[in-house]
Amino acid sequence: MSRATARPLPSQAANPLSRLLALRRVEILAQTVVLILAVAWLEMPLAVVPMAAIIVVAALINLGSRWRLGRGAPVGDNAIFLQLMADTVILGWLLYFSGGPVNPFVSLLLLPPTLAAAMLPARRAWAMAGIALLVYTALMFWSLPLPLPRRDLTPLDSMLAGAGGGLGEHAAHSSGFALHVLGMWLNFVVSIGVVAFFLTRMATALRERERQLATAREAVLRNEQILSLGTLAAGAAHQLGTPLATMAVLLRELELSHGGDDALRGDLRLLREQVDRCKRTISRILASAGQARDESLGAVALDGYLRHLLDDWQILRPRVALRVDLKGPRPVPAIAADRTLAQALLNLLDNAADANGSHLETVVFTAEWDAENCRIEILDQGPGLRGEATSRLGEAFFTTKAAGDGQQAGGVGIGLFLSNATIQRFGGTVELFNRAGGGVRTRVTLPLVGLKGH
């Protein structure tokens, strides 16, 4: 089914601190598992109490940071730098109680500077590198020795040493070599997992940021087009005032001159009503510049607003047959509608009427609402969406209306463009579908939260 739809607003990029806290949860879990394995399986006489206390402190820092992040605390370079520095200090203390520079996990001190280089300005990244280097250097002089495991690892030691072709060279190290190789392997598993996790998240975030930038550029271009159209419309409204006033005077004189011709008098009355309608519209455009809401209407019931809008449209398009169906729970939500919203819906009705052409089929307008949204559908029986219109409908200055389609001149391609822009501004969407029996179904979804009166 062919469809044209407004693009959603871009979403906010993921917070880098949130990813950092998720990474720390993985680190805390890994540190806990390694400590339990070292004590329970390898039977290493480590300082369990201070090491467990350090892991608990890391968990508390993570919980506190998550709580502050959830309350909307500001997240800047300083906050991320302090988090990475805390990770470096915590890892340094754990290494102090477990062998310092001879611990195979000492290379994990590279992670905070790596993350700082990816997330922070160069000055802070170099500062983090200096802190990690300082911690590593201190561990070379001040650290407790790494105790050997009490469990017999001779078979594992022999297997690893034999696989490396150095059984004789490492035989004197007893279980130390097997433990060191096993620790290096586990360290590699943790490191590669952390790097893959973080860098893939960063790449996803960068792609999302590029997508948002592209969407923002399109929005800026669209807003510039709307501003240009608004400027031209204001100038045209000012210039049309005098011709419309002249037409109103002439029509009044014609009515007085041909008062006895009933048929002509009806047509002249209709023309005068149309001219008066144009004059009122121009007056509102000029008077409402800078106003956000229609002060003349104030807060009105949604169904009353829609019926008033449709009555005004029928004055402009009296020859179009219109069937209306409004339904929803009572009481009907009250809205304080923006004038631009009314114009957007009028544009969509005009498109449906123009699509019907000279065949005068009935245009169907349905509206259904609940406490949160209003869903409007406009059905016509025109030719539907075909070819290029399927992908380009809604672009500025692109139109499917050609001269001869029941009108003297083709369209200029701004009606649907402006309707899309206006309804998106209220957080809504416009979608166009080809109907199974011919014609187009125009669906408008509007959240009422931005329209409710105060």
Per-residue pLDDT tens digits for 127-186: 888 898 899 889 888 989 888 777 766 666 666 555 444 444 444 444 555 566 566 666
For the chain, how many helices (H) and strands (E)?
A: 13, 8
User: How much is the pLDDT for 409?
Assistant: 41
User: How much is the pLDDT for 96?
Assistant: 94
**Helical residues (DSSP H) of 357-413, grouped into ranges:** 389-392
Q: Is the pLDDT of residue 432 over 70?
A: yes
User: How much is the pLDDT for 411?
Assistant: 44
Q: Is the pLDDT of residue 294 over 70?
A: no
When pLDDT is averaged across residues 18-25 and rounded to a whole number, the result is 87
| Residue 218, C-beta contacts closer than 8 angstroms, at least 6 positions apart | 7
Q: Under a CB-based contact definition with an 8 Å cutoff, are residues 305 and 423 in contact?
A: no
Which residue ranges form the domains of the chain, and what is each CATH number?
A: 16-217 (no CATH), 293-450 (3.30.565.10)
User: How much is the pLDDT for 226?
Assistant: 66
Per-residue pLDDT tens digits for 336-390: 876 778 888 988 998 888 888 766 678 999 999 998 899 999 998 888 877 665 5
Q: How confident is the model at residue 326 (pLDDT cuts 50, 70, 90)?
A: very high
Q: Is the pLDDT of residue 290 over 80?
A: no
In eight-state DSSP terms, residue 105 is G
Treating both helix axes as pointing N-terminal to C-terminal, what angle do 16-36 and 77-96 enclose, rounded to 10 degrees?
10
**Of 192, 215, 195, residue with least CA distance to 203:** 195
Return the sign of the alpha-carbon dihedral for residues 311, 313, 316, 322: negative
Q: Is the pLDDT of residue 88 over 70?
A: yes
Q: Which one is predicted more confidently, 237 or 334? A: 334
Task: Specify the range with the lowest mean pLDDT, choosing from 7-16, 234-243, 301-310.
Answer: 7-16
User: How much is the pLDDT for 97?
Assistant: 94
Please give the mean pLDDT across all residues of the chain: 77
> What is the pTM assigned to this prediction?
0.47
Per-residue pLDDT tens digits for 204-255: 777 788 888 887 787 777 667 666 666 666 666 666 777 887 888 888 888 7
Percent of the chain with pLDDT over 90: 19
Buried b (16+ CB within 10 A) or exposed e, 161-192: beeeeeeeebeeeebbbbbbbbbeebbeebbe
Per-residue pLDDT tens digits for 44-74: 889 999 999 999 999 999 999 999 888 877 7
For the chain, report the end-to-end CA distance as a whole number of angstroms.
40
Q: Is the pLDDT of residue 261 over 70?
A: yes
Q: Is the pLDDT of residue 334 over 80?
A: yes
In eight-state DSSP terms, residue 377 is E
∠ CA 26-27-33, nearest 5°, is: 90
User: How much is the pLDDT for 264?
Assistant: 81
Rounded to an integer, what distance in angstroms lies between the CA atom of residue 422 and that of residue 408?
Answer: 28
Rounded to an integer, what distance in angstroms lies between the CA atom of residue 22 and that of residue 208?
Answer: 19
CB atoms within 10 A of CB 122: 9
